[in-house]
Copies of this chain bind each other. A is one copy, B any other.
Amino acid sequence: MEDKINALIEKGVVPTTQRLIVFQYLKGSKTHPTADNIYNALKKRHPIFSRATVYNTLFIFKEAGIIQELTLDKKEVHYDPNPVPHHHFYCKVCKDILNIDIECSVAKKRDIHGHKVEDVQSTFYGVCKRCLKNEQ
């Protein structure tokens, strides 16, 4: 727990109880949850937990560079516990979001035609391997 508190402090985030719970949940997650996913998961264990706090916390974490916001789904925002930009694959069938590890020099640029790049999002949309197999 001590290490989590320090992780938040190092990023300039006041380590409140709620923020630590959200932080722990995110870092233990291998998926790309939505605010609602997080709210519902935490609500079970901690009945007094507000939606607004989840949204506020995610905003704070994103600003601090602790997590990454993914706007690849037009319905809702997803969050990636890994703040380092990387490619994603969004399956239209099962709605799963997969991390794609691929070398890409374009995505590393910090300057494009004179515009200052701060973030990058690269998403492939289609049908994932597993759903392709099930379709047959």
Any chain B CB within 8 A of the CB of A65? no
Binds B, one of A9-17, A37-45, A124-132: A124-132
Minimum CB distance partner of A114 in chain B:
B129
Any chain B CB within 8 A of the CB of A104? yes
Taking a contact as CB atoms closer than 8 A, the residue among B77, B121, B129 that contacts A115 in the complex is B129
A127→B118 contact, CB < 8 A: yes
A107 to B132, CA, bound (A): 21
Pairs A-B, 10 closest by C-beta atoms: A114-B129, A119-B125, A118-B126, A104-B106, A71-B74, A117-B126, A122-B122, A116-B126, A117-B124, A116-B127
Query: Beyond A69-B74, A71-B73, A74-B71, is A124–B115 a contact (Cβ under 8 Å)?
Result: yes
